[in-house]
Chain A
Amino acid sequence: MKNIKIRDISSPVEQLAEIKLEELYPLPPPYDKIEEQPGFKNLSPEIRAKYEASLDGVMAVGLKKPESEEEEKKLIDAFISGLNKLFTKENNWTFLQPLTLSMEYCARCQTCNMDCPIYVGSGMKEIYRPTYRSEVLRRLYFKYVKKGSKIYKSFQNGGIELNWELIARLFELSYRCTLCRRCAQSCPIGVDNGLITHELRKMFSMEMGLSPKELHEKGTVQQLEVGSSTGMNALVVKDNMEFIDEDISERTGIKVESKWDVEGAEILLIHNSGEILTWPENPGAFALILDAAGIKWTLSSDLVGYDGVNYGLFYDDVQLARVAMKHLEIAKKLKVKKIVMGECGHESKAMGVIADRIFEGAVPRETAMTLMNDIVFSGKIKLNPERNWFPVTLHDPCNLTRSMGVIEPQRKVLRYIAPKFREMEPHGVRNYCCGGGSGFAVMSAYNFSDWRIQVASRMKFEQVLNAFADESPGPETPKYVCAPCSNCKGAFRDMFDFYGAKTKSGLYYAGLVELIVNAMVDVNEGFIDFDMM
């Protein structure tokens, strides 16, 4: 459909928008040849007959089409019910004030538009405009929640037709924004489209029971039942950590042993358990640094205690609270002085800031960035920055920077231990999201990962390439993207694999602690081995 308008979201057309490679934001060479890019997988007619893909031909959540008119009506009724509950203090005290402010005071000035990396990356597709889904919800809010004359409300806020097409598309559309909140920074009035998306997702999950499997069944539910969103139970995680300890000890020449359930420890370290499975050097490096610094630390083998992931942050307040309360309960049981959140942006934000007002008598929490900065400059470990003699840039996880204001600690460390460190532009609080934010990094059903990599991660990929523009462009010079966040690393992994960026440009990614260990004088040289990455 061309020239899409707000009301078109209810249109009975088969597909509202189409994404074309040639319309996307252009990438620099050697990634500028459209014919060499894999493009988007088309959904089969069978899938399309069964599931909703009428927004943009992409499926993030796999919403089944209603089989009868009655079922359709039930879903519409449930949607209206959820919409109303979203604006009650009993059900949504958690975000009622900011949500209402964002609903009622937008001037529709579109000042935020160009700050959205998805909108710009998509070549400015109307449906991805940060205000599009907000405006749809706003019109529904004024129509179904706010009291007053219908004519006056329509005059002030515009009209909209609520039907199944709208609900299905709005649901999918709530998973076309990474909640990075870059748009909110530029709003002169203080309206937050990221928050609106967050609230939409919540309404679908908490009232209608609709959310992506990766975040709910395989995410928070599995974490609360088994202990981790990765599916690892306590035995498996201990086994894996034992293997990591052995491997790190062998590679570094320093005996590393993870500590478990140490009561009265100074620090309870909670990793995103994705690190343990996918990037074992990271928890290994943490163990080595903390031991070397002489800190009394521990991991927890209690249910949920060894996984800092909290996908509830992205779609469901109750699930957020359930996971966060488990973390707190464990910290209290172990009587630790503080919790340190590993290299994971959303874990840090969920535990450090968002759940702060759910906790009662909370144990203090701090980020790994802060702790590492403290250790590096404490003189407790000897470092030789020359060991990191390769170009390094820093990716700022949105949750750590825009939502927590943790900007400088990781930079101070990098400026010291990585002589060839350079910033991306823009960076810090104005960074671009990696494209894996808000759960996207673990969502890859159907053809969603094609969209995520080529649209949501597009501006970040360009930014990474530009950061190394002064270096030899080929693979002969390895280039290190320091991404101190598990989900961001997942996004970089997929992005670099998709474009063949390791082979073409020598792009690698890993965390901050790996760079610290690589620079440690007491450690065998070559902890970071680009051939193995």
Chain B
Amino acid sequence: MFWLFIFTYLSVLIFLAVVIYKFIKIATAPVHLRWELYPVPHEKGKASYGGSILEEVDWWTKKREKDHLGELKVMVPEILLLKGVWEHNKELWLGSFPFHFALYLFIGNIALLVIGTLLEITGISPFVFKANSFWNSFWIIFRTVIDVLIWVGSILGILGSFRLLFTRIVNRNLSLYSTPSHYFNIIFIGAIYATALIWRLNDSDMVRNLMVYYFVIITFSKEIAVDLPLQIPAIGFVHIIISLLFIIYLPFTHMTHFFAKYFTYHSVRWEDTPNAPGSKIAERVGAQLNQTVTWAAPHIGADGNKNWIAIASAAPSKEAKR
């Protein structure tokens, strides 16, 4: 099953390449005008009621203290528990929370499987320790945790997928705005959960097989690679292939909100840095003001040569009265 491993590498590479490209594209977008939205959680002592430093008289003379822990206090329940959806859309949360939380559990499993492989590489192999030794107990617990995450994640994920699909179809508010991809995406991710559960139901060695699969992927171990496919049941292959297809598909969809959300919060909602003379922002804005404007409305007065600052400094064109 050489092709399975090649396909794995290819999927991960495509995923990383597109996500990194998108990430860089957003991160290097021009600095924009301030558009923060309160409450801004890093406003020390004021975030609880939505206040800002602008409440202080002569605020520009005051030392600005940012409460980064305050940001974490908002982001952690928002990401892990979908707090915003819970507060504003409980019906959706009933599907969305288990659906997303199951993904987190699966991602947690991936992290554990990578850690397991790294331990094996350093010689702490799960297959060589004597009974009652520390490492033997460690690996038993380690595998049990992965197993529990598979069970809980797949069951939660299946329930969440059904509920989400049902809500999207039945609730007119959602169905009106849903495109074919919304249904497809839920079914796609639901299939990952379903195949994981079926695999686990049919294979008591699923954790062991997964650990070997990750070991092969990370260590490029040809020898083990030959034996492994024989031990993975057909449903295991189906699960792995669906998961890899999803990894390729994901970066080309709006579901990349998993990292875009960082920017919508940190670069827009909570971005309240004043434009101090000589600052980085002032430098970047200065460069942007030199760009040529081509808006066509008469009052703008763009002629194909004037830059932003020239246009903003001029009076509206005499043709402005429409």
Binding site for B on A (CB under 8 A): 5-6, 78, 81-82, 85, 89-91, 93-98, 100-102, 104-115, 126, 131, 135, 152, 154-158, 181, 184-192, 195, 205-210, 216-217, 220-221, 224-225, 317-319, 321-322, 325, 338, 352-362, 364, 366-367, 369-371, 373-374, 401-409, 428-429
Most buried by B among A108, A361, A428: A108
B275 shortest CB reach to chain A, Å: 5
| B288 at interface by CB-CB < 8 Å | yes
| B231 at interface by CB-CB < 8 Å | no
Q: Are A217 and B320 in touch, CB under 8 angstroms?
A: yes
Contacts of A115 in B (CB 8 A): 88
| B282 at interface by CB-CB < 8 Å | yes
Q: Are B275 and A190 in touch, CB under 8 angstroms?
A: no
Q: Are A357 and B294 in touch, CB under 8 angstroms?
A: no
Contacts of B299 in A (CB 8 A): 209, 216, 221, 318-319
Q: Return 28 A-B CB contacts under 8 Å, by A number.
A: A82-B295, A89-B29, A90-B292, A91-B293, A95-B35, A96-B29, A97-B267, A108-B182, A111-B85, A111-B88, A155-B179, A156-B254, A157-B181, A184-B269, A191-B264, A206-B300, A207-B296, A221-B316, A224-B316, A358-B285, A359-B275, A364-B58, A369-B55, A370-B55, A402-B50, A405-B50, A407-B46, A429-B38
Q: Are B295 and A322 in touch, CB under 8 angstroms?
A: no
| B131 at interface by CB-CB < 8 Å | no
Given that A109-B85, A155-B180, A360-B286 are contacting pairs, would A407 and B297 also be in contact in the complex, using a CB cutoff of 8 Å? no
Given that A105-B254, A366-B57, A366-B59 are contacting pairs, would A429 and B39 also be in contact in the complex, using a CB cutoff of 8 Å? yes
CA distance A401 to B182 in the complex (A): 36
B271 shortest CB reach to chain A, Å: 9
| B26 at interface by CB-CB < 8 Å | yes
Q: Are A101 and B260 in touch, CB under 8 angstroms?
A: yes
| B229 at interface by CB-CB < 8 Å | no
Binds A, one of B152-160, B194-202, B220-228, B307-315: B307-315
A332 shortest CB reach to chain B, Å: 13
Number of interface residues of B (CB under 8 A): 89
Beta-carbon nearest neighbor of B31 in chain A: A357
Q: Are A217 and B321 in touch, CB under 8 angstroms?
A: yes
Beta-carbon nearest neighbor of A359 in chain B: B275
Beta-carbon nearest neighbor of B179 in chain A: A158
Given that A110-B89, A405-B50 are contacting pairs, would A195 and B275 also be in contact in the complex, using a CB cutoff of 8 Å? no
Q: Are A220 and B316 in touch, CB under 8 angstroms?
A: yes
Beta-carbon nearest neighbor of B291 in chain A: A90
- Neighbour of B322 across the interface among A185, A217, A358, CB < 8 A: A217
CA distance A472 to B304 in the complex (A): 64
A409 shortest CB reach to chain B, Å: 5
Q: Are A205 and B297 in touch, CB under 8 angstroms?
A: yes
B301 shortest CB reach to chain A, Å: 9
Q: Are A208 and B297 in touch, CB under 8 angstroms?
A: yes
Q: Are B291 and A135 in touch, CB under 8 angstroms?
A: no
A126 shortest CB reach to chain B, Å: 8
CA distance A406 to B54 in the complex (A): 6
Q: Are B38 and A401 in touch, CB under 8 angstroms?
A: yes
CA distance A184 to B317 in the complex (A): 35
- Neighbour of B274 across the interface among A152, A220, A356, A369, CB < 8 A: A356
Contacts of B34 in A (CB 8 A): 353-354, 356-357
A168 shortest CB reach to chain B, Å: 16
CA distance A172 to B173 in the complex (A): 23
Contacts of B268 in A (CB 8 A): 97-98, 101, 190, 192
A333 shortest CB reach to chain B, Å: 15
Q: Are A358 and B33 in touch, CB under 8 angstroms?
A: yes
Contacts of B78 in A (CB 8 A): 188
Q: Are B57 and A97 in touch, CB under 8 angstroms?
A: no
Within 8 A of A (CB), among B147-191: 173-174, 176-182, 184
CA distance A195 to B269 in the complex (A): 11
Q: Are B291 and A93 in touch, CB under 8 angstroms?
A: yes
Beta-carbon nearest neighbor of A135 in chain B: B177
| B36 at interface by CB-CB < 8 Å | yes
Given that A104-B254, A357-B34, A357-B275 are contacting pairs, would A190 and B57 also be in contact in the complex, using a CB cutoff of 8 Å? no
B305 shortest CB reach to chain A, Å: 12
Q: Are B291 and A89 in touch, CB under 8 angstroms?
A: yes
CA distance A191 to B260 in the complex (A): 10
B290 shortest CB reach to chain A, Å: 10
Beyond the given A357-B285, A405-B46, could you list 10 further A-B residue pairs with CB under 8 A, ordered by the A residue number? A85-B294, A108-B177, A318-B295, A357-B33, A370-B57, A373-B57, A401-B38, A404-B38, A404-B52, A429-B39
A293 shortest CB reach to chain B, Å: 12
Contacts of A364 in B (CB 8 A): 58-60
Q: Are A110 and B320 in touch, CB under 8 angstroms?
A: no
Given that A357-B31, A409-B55 are contacting pairs, would A90 and B173 also be in contact in the complex, using a CB cutoff of 8 Å? no
Q: Are A225 and B315 in touch, CB under 8 angstroms?
A: yes
A252 shortest CB reach to chain B, Å: 25
Contacts of A429 in B (CB 8 A): 38-39, 49-50
Q: Are A405 and B52 in touch, CB under 8 angstroms?
A: yes
Q: Are A405 and B92 in touch, CB under 8 angstroms?
A: no
CA distance A106 to B252 in the complex (A): 14
Beta-carbon nearest neighbor of A90 in chain B: B291
Given that A85-B294, A97-B32 are contacting pairs, would A221 and B320 also be in contact in the complex, using a CB cutoff of 8 Å? yes
Beta-carbon nearest neighbor of B92 in chain A: A109
Q: Are B37 and A402 in touch, CB under 8 angstroms?
A: yes
| B250 at interface by CB-CB < 8 Å | no
Most buried by B among A105, A114, A353, A373: A105
Beta-carbon nearest neighbor of A205 in chain B: B297
A277 shortest CB reach to chain B, Å: 23
Q: Are A407 and B177 in touch, CB under 8 angstroms?
A: no
Contacts of A225 in B (CB 8 A): 315-316
Given that A157-B179, A360-B277 are contacting pairs, would A406 and B29 also be in contact in the complex, using a CB cutoff of 8 Å? no
Contacts of A354 in B (CB 8 A): 33-35
Q: Are B295 and A195 in touch, CB under 8 angstroms?
A: no
CA distance A207 to B295 in the complex (A): 5
Q: Are A105 and B51 in touch, CB under 8 angstroms?
A: no
Given that A104-B254, A105-B261 are contacting pairs, would A112 and B88 also be in contact in the complex, using a CB cutoff of 8 Å? yes
Beta-carbon nearest neighbor of B298 in chain A: A209
Contacts of A322 in B (CB 8 A): 312-316
Q: Are A95 and B261 in touch, CB under 8 angstroms?
A: no
Q: Are A188 and B50 in touch, CB under 8 angstroms?
A: no
Contacts of B293 in A (CB 8 A): 90-91, 318
CA distance A173 to B269 in the complex (A): 25
CA distance A321 to B289 in the complex (A): 11
Contacts of B87 in A (CB 8 A): 186
CA distance A225 to B179 in the complex (A): 49
CA distance A146 to B83 in the complex (A): 32
Contacts of A114 in B (CB 8 A): 88
- Neighbour of A6 across the interface among B176, B256, B282, B291, CB < 8 A: B176
Given that A97-B268, A209-B298 are contacting pairs, would A407 and B173 also be in contact in the complex, using a CB cutoff of 8 Å? no
Q: Are B58 and A100 in touch, CB under 8 angstroms?
A: no
Q: Are A370 and B54 in touch, CB under 8 angstroms?
A: yes
CA distance A354 to B89 in the complex (A): 31
| B96 at interface by CB-CB < 8 Å | yes
| B207 at interface by CB-CB < 8 Å | no
- Neighbour of A107 across the interface among B29, B51, B257, CB < 8 A: B257
| B135 at interface by CB-CB < 8 Å | no
CA distance A107 to B263 in the complex (A): 16
| B253 at interface by CB-CB < 8 Å | yes
B17 shortest CB reach to chain A, Å: 17
Q: Are A408 and B49 in touch, CB under 8 angstroms?
A: yes
